[in-house]
Chain A
Amino acid sequence: MVTSQTPNSQSSQTSPVLEIRNLCQDFGGLRAVNNFNVTLNKGELIGLIGPNGAGKTTVFNLVSGFYQPTFGEIVVNGINTANRKPHQVNALGVARTFQNIRLWNEMTVLDNIRVAQHGQLNYGFFHTIARSRFYQRREQLVESNAMKLLDIFNLKNYAAEYPKNLPYGTQRKLEIARALSGQPRLLLLDEPAAGLNSTDVQELIRLVRWIHSHFDVTIWMIEHHMDVMMELCSRIKVIDFGETIAEGTPDEIRNHPAVITAYLGDDNI
């Protein structure tokens, strides 16, 4: 179903989904991200961790095109994202969720998911006025796509509800559903478990694993819950003060001295 609709599948075979080379980002005099490198191959699920203020979200902001990097390259499916606006990066197949949920609260759940498919509408203002046949076909597609996603995420009962009225965990879920509605090939999850209780966290783990196996999507996530990361990720990158300090499998990271220093400080060892 949703998996079959991936465009240009030939290019994704040849190049990695995401390749970041020597990425640097300065804010005034502060270097928030320094010399960051990563390659995500198709179908991977990797993690990014680090103490607060390490620059994790900045990396995501750079990848999603919200910031332009000071230096370095971000290549999505073989296409350099330099000078592209966020919606153009999104069109290359990058979708994300936000650390503090950013749903459109005055729009229904269904509309949230419909609007996030803006990149695939392919019709313009005059079609909306003329209500051409093309417009109607696209709207039907968007609508059915949205309903399908709501069905998958068990949100169908909430379709006409406003997101602000939903429980927190459901809002998180809705945000992931919204990110998937544009059929991305790279999904960035920015602390999806933040603020969830342990039951919700277990459900989230199942959900992410399910998405990873059922959608044709590569996932990169930031998370502070280490059990989530250990359970899901095949590879984890650790950054602190913008520098990459460790990289490896969850087990390697767990015992990495630099990681322990970064989280607990020198004296505690």
Chain B
Amino acid sequence: MFKRYSIHTLLVSMGGLLIYVAYEEMISLYILSVLMFMGVNIILSTSLNLVNGYMGEFSCGHAGFMCVGAYVSSVLGVWLFAKDKVFGPPLINPDYALYLFPLIILIGGFAAALAGLLVAIPSYKTRGDYLAIITIAANYIIISAIENLDSIGGSRGFMGMKRVITAMEDIAYLPWMPIWVFAFTIFCIWLIRRYVSSTFGKGVNAICQDEVAAEIMSVNTNKIKTITFMVSSGLAGIGGGLFAYILGYVNPGSFNILKSTEVMVMVYLGGMASLSGSVLSAIFFTILLEVLRPLQIIKWIVIPLMLIIVMQFRPEGLMGSRELSDIFPWMKRFYRFK
């Protein structure tokens, strides 16, 4: 009984501790925001791993989908719950903000999933590097489309999300953003793990290893690709929505190829097709970025250099395609990673 629910106990206690610590303001807002970005990065890297690791495609435009999610949930949130210069008074009584907030984030994710079709449909016929280009082009298209939408700020960006959070805090004074980030991070890992560990989801891995054999041996590859791309970009959209609310401000420039590269680095650093690898490398990478912050511009020389060196010695990433339970077999007693 204890073993069966150990992972749940662990998660609940972790979440409880986080809320308690944040509520009592025992950690600084800076550390809290680093923790929240860690959650967002976990969402981004695990969701990209679904496409780049499990399915073996090479998507370099993950930030584009993040951008869709960020804008849709930000605009929706501000439009519904906050007083804004552009949208006027709140459409719905801000008292509902608390209950509808996860829904707004999910709608952002859903919009990003639809944007994922932009890549999913060409992937029926295209593979590999050509698909990589399509993802890059999709990233640029999404960003410059938003830059041209002057009504939501264009390239100047969009803000006002802090007011939505204030609206939530007015109802009940709790550290809402850490709570939601934590919840959605768990949701994201939970969803991906359930998907890839089912026989249905193992079709994704079959596509990666031999697409022809997969199609001939009864896997509906187009359907699996569509679902996988949509799940991946949808989760990126959720990550983007949370990112926007944490910062309280978004602009299209923060979702450029550099951001996509950052996510890609996390995936490959952790190891392709390793969920726990992605989680660990997202945590590690977020900390690394913060630790090296004092270096300022040199940070972006040191990090790539470190990565190049890591690649030379561990070309398969930190975990390869293994999960934590493969490295520490005792973990299997508590949680089946695969």
A–B contact (CB under 8 angstroms): yes
Contact B194 A115 (CB under 8 A): no
Contact A119 B212 (CB under 8 A): no
Q: Does B334 contact A (CB under 8 A)?
A: no
Question: What bracket does the count of chain A residues touching chain B fall in?
Answer: 35 or more
| CB of A13, distance to nearest CB on chain B (Å) | 24
Q: Does B118 contact A (CB under 8 A)?
A: no
Majority-rule SS of B interface residues: helix
Q: C-beta contact mask, B1-18 vs A, less than 8 Å → 1, else 0?
A: 000000000000000000
Q: Does B209 contact A (CB under 8 A)?
A: yes
Q: C-beta contact mask, B205-231 vs A, less than 8 Å → 1, else 0?
A: 110111011111111111000010001
Q: Does B191 contact A (CB under 8 A)?
A: yes
Given the complex of chains A and B, what is the CA–CA distance between A39 and B199 in angstroms? Answer: 35
Q: CB-CB < 8 A to B273: which residues of A? A: 106
Q: Does A107 contact B (CB under 8 A)?
A: yes
> Quick one: closest A residue to B219, CB to CB?
A118
Q: Does B321 contact A (CB under 8 A)?
A: yes
Contact B209 A142 (CB under 8 A): no
Q: Does A168 contact B (CB under 8 A)?
A: no
| CB of B230, distance to nearest CB on chain A (Å) | 9
Q: C-beta contact mask, A154-197 vs B, less than 8 Å → 1, else 0?
A: 00000000000000000000000011001000000000000000
Given the complex of chains A and B, what is the CA–CA distance between A4 and B200 in angstroms? Answer: 25
Given the complex of chains A and B, what is the CA–CA distance between A91 and B273 in angstroms? Answer: 29
Known: A64-B216, A103-B213. A111 touches B195 (CB 8 A): no
Contact A114 B220 (CB under 8 A): no
Given the complex of chains A and B, what is the CA–CA distance between A59 and B212 in angstroms? Answer: 16
Contact A178 B200 (CB under 8 A): no
Given the complex of chains A and B, what is the CA–CA distance between A102 and B218 in angstroms? Answer: 14
Q: Which of A105, A111, A118 contacts B218 (CB 8 A)?
A: A118
Q: Does B253 contact A (CB under 8 A)?
A: no
Known: A107-B206, A107-B209, A115-B206. A125 touches B217 (CB 8 A): no
Contact A90 B209 (CB under 8 A): no
Given the complex of chains A and B, what is the CA–CA distance between A97 and B89 in angstroms? Answer: 65
Q: Does A224 contact B (CB under 8 A)?
A: no
Contact B194 A128 (CB under 8 A): yes
Q: Which of A98, A105, A118 contacts B200 (CB 8 A)?
A: A118
Q: Give the residues from 76 to 94 in chain A that come closer than 8 angstroms, CB to CB, to chain B.
A: 85-87, 90-91
Q: CB-CB < 8 A to A232: which residues of B? A: none
Contact A139 B218 (CB under 8 A): no
Given the complex of chains A and B, what is the CA–CA distance between A111 and B273 in angstroms? Answer: 15
Q: Does B203 contact A (CB under 8 A)?
A: yes
Given the complex of chains A and B, what is the CA–CA distance between A125 and B273 in angstroms? Answer: 19
Q: CB-CB < 8 A to A124: which residues of B? A: 200
Q: Does B201 contact A (CB under 8 A)?
A: yes
Contact B221 A123 (CB under 8 A): no
Q: C-beta contact mask, A99-138 vs B, less than 8 Å → 1, else 0?
A: 0001111110001001111111101110111010001001
Q: Does B259 contact A (CB under 8 A)?
A: no
Q: Does B299 contact A (CB under 8 A)?
A: no
| CB of A26, distance to nearest CB on chain B (Å) | 21
Contact A104 B198 (CB under 8 A): no
Q: Which of B194, B210, B216, B220 contacts A131 (CB 8 A)?
A: B194
Q: Does B162 contact A (CB under 8 A)?
A: no
Given the complex of chains A and B, what is the CA–CA distance between A95 and B215 in angstroms? Answer: 11
**Interface-central residue, A64, A107, A127, A178, by most chain B CB under 10 Å:** A107
Known: A115-B203, A139-B199, A142-B199. A104 touches B219 (CB 8 A): no
Known: A98-B213, A106-B321, A129-B191. A115 touches B202 (CB 8 A): yes
Q: CB-CB < 8 A to B321: which residues of A? A: 106
Contact A85 B215 (CB under 8 A): yes
> Quick one: closest A residue to B228, CB to CB?
A125
| CB of A7, distance to nearest CB on chain B (Å) | 14
> Quick one: closest A residue to B190, CB to CB?
A129
| CB of A97, distance to nearest CB on chain B (Å) | 10
Contact B220 A87 (CB under 8 A): yes
Q: CB-CB < 8 A to B212: which residues of A? A: 66, 102
Q: Does A96 contact B (CB under 8 A)?
A: yes
Contact A86 B215 (CB under 8 A): yes
Q: C-beta contact mask, A236-265 vs B, less than 8 Å → 1, else 0?
A: 000000000000000000000000000000
Q: CB-CB < 8 A to A115: which residues of B? A: 199, 202-203, 205-206, 214, 217, 219
Contact A139 B209 (CB under 8 A): no
**B interface with A by C-beta (< 8 Å):** 191, 194-195, 198-203, 205-206, 208-210, 212-222, 227, 231, 273, 321
Please give 17 more A-B residue pairs, beta carbons under 8 A apart, in addition to A106-B273, A123-B200.
Answer: A64-B216, A66-B215, A85-B215, A87-B220, A91-B218, A104-B205, A104-B206, A104-B210, A111-B202, A114-B199, A115-B205, A115-B219, A118-B199, A118-B203, A118-B220, A129-B191, A129-B195
The 7 closest A-B pairs by CB, nearest first: A119-B218, A128-B198, A102-B213, A90-B218, A104-B209, A116-B217, A118-B218
**A interface with B by C-beta (< 8 Å):** 64-66, 85-87, 90-91, 95-96, 98, 102-107, 111, 114-121, 123-125, 127-129, 131, 135, 138-139, 142, 178-179, 182
Can you give 14 contacting A-B residue pairs, CB < 8 Å?
A85-B222, A87-B218, A87-B219, A90-B216, A106-B321, A115-B217, A118-B219, A121-B200, A128-B198, A128-B200, A128-B201, A129-B191, A178-B217, A179-B217
